[in-house]
Every structure is written in C-alpha cells, then in structure tokens.
Amino acid sequence: MSELPQVVCMDQETRLQEDDHHSIKLWLRLLTCSSLIESRLRSALREEFDTTLPRFDFMAQLERVPEGLTMGDLSRRMMVSGGNVSGIAAQLVGEGLVDRSPVPDNRRTFMVKLTPKGRRSFRKMAQQHEQWIIKLLGHLELSEVEQLMVLLDRVKRGL
C-alpha cells in the first residue's frame, strides 16, 4: 500500500473565537476534517495514478451504473456543471477509459460508460482509495465510528 502524502492544509478552525456559538465551532471542525481528508486524497490520486479527484468521482459514478449515464445524470450526481462533466468526459474518452455516444432517440443527449480499460483502471484506483480511507480513519475504534455515524445522521436529518 502506498503512503499518503503529507499535505499542508490551512485549518479552518484557526478562525474561531472563544465566544463563537457551539454550532460555528462544530461547522468549522467538520469543514476542517473534510478539507484535510480531501487534500490527502487529491495528492495521493495525483501522485499514485496521475489523476484528479473529479476524474475519480466521474469514474466512480459510471462504475455504479455499468449500462452508463447521460451527461446530465452525471452532472446531477456529481453536483457540478455540465461543462465540468463534458471536460472530464472528453479527457477520459481521449484516454480510452470512457465511451461517449449519442442517445438513439435524442441526438443532443450523450450516454457515457466505462470501457473495459476504464473499468480496470478505476478498480485499481478504488482499491487503493479504500486503503487510504482506512489509513486516514482507521485509528478510530468501531464504537467511536458508530457514535459519529449516529450523530452525523442526526445532523443530516436536521438539514
């Protein structure tokens, strides 16, 4: 398993004031943790696979739906603009990792799916990605993870 690169990430919590509301403190702690994890993953993907997190996410969406997705569906799933998705698709098509073809009944809509080469490539990345996540969060005990999951579920439902 490859090592995760050390990434310097400005800690969002440095903005805190002692008298800030506890909700602000929680928000900044969540943001800091998310940013630190994402920075480490971005660097690791770049160093190990010469790819980006958006490309990894794009391929992950296609891995989940082997018959493919329209560009619009991909855009909605990734919560990015159609232009971002089109740019990533063009790169991956050029590398032979993705096929893009018009939808038969609607020539303006394109369907995108992983090629066999793309599927193999993604699976290698996904296996390593899983190991990186385990390394980043594996120091937590199962009971701590369960507690966090319950609390974060309350946060999610409250939103």
Question: What is the C-alpha to C-alpha distance for residues 26 and 2, in angstroms, rounded to an integer?
Answer: 32
The confidence band for 50, taking pLDDT boundaries of 50, 70 and 90, is very high
Domains and CATH numbers, the chain: 1-50 (no CATH), 51-130 (1.10.10.10)
How many angstroms separate the CA atoms of 150 and 152, rounded? 6
Please check the confidence at residue 54 and state whether its pLDDT lies above 60. yes
Q: What pLDDT digit, counting tens, does each position of 62-96 carry? A: 999 999 999 999 989 998 877 788 999 999 999 99
Higher model confidence: residue 96 or residue 110?
96
| 126 Cβ contact partners less than 8 Å away, ≥ 6 residues apart | 60, 63
- Cβ-based neighbours of 60, under 8 Å, separated by 6 or more: 122, 126
- Nearest partner of 99 among 121, 126, 69, 76, judged by Cα: 69
In 3D, which of 23, 25, 98, 15 has the Cα closest to residue 56? 98
pTM equals: 0.82
